[in-house]
Amino acid sequence: MIQRAGNEIREYLQMLKYEPVDYHGDENRIKLRAEPGFTLLKDSYFPYWSTEQDSILSTSQGFILVYTDDTMTLLSYRKPPINTVVTIISMISLATVVIVLAIGVIKGKQRT
């Protein structure tokens, strides 16, 4: 069944134009230089990727699909501020638990 589906879409896949693009990325930004249209980036998709003018979609393989009307696109990865707040609260909670457990162990040793 999979082979049959592959055979049926083969003619459409052959109509697509495949070419490498100029891709420069770091931890929080990707600078993409490509022809206008759809570009598949073999980089992991996360919902916090954004551009100012173009569309970003997730593919079934977890990659990034960008539609652009321009030859230069800048993708930015920005986590919402709530993520930082939640991380700080989690770290404080973990530190509190460790301190309380350490105090309990120390007091337990002093009793015996």
Decide if pLDDT at 102 tops 90: yes
**Model pLDDT, residue 91:** 97
- CA-wise closest residue to 62 among 46, 74, 78: 46
Decide if pLDDT at 86 tops 80: yes
- Helices and strands per DSSP (H, E), number in the chain: 2, 7
**Model pLDDT, residue 94:** 97
Mean per-residue pLDDT over the chain, rounded: 82
Model-level pTM?
A: 0.57
**Model pLDDT, residue 92:** 97
Decide if pLDDT at 53 tops 60: yes
CB 80 within 8 A of CB 50: no
Average pLDDT over residues 79-91: 93
Decide if pLDDT at 47 tops 80: yes
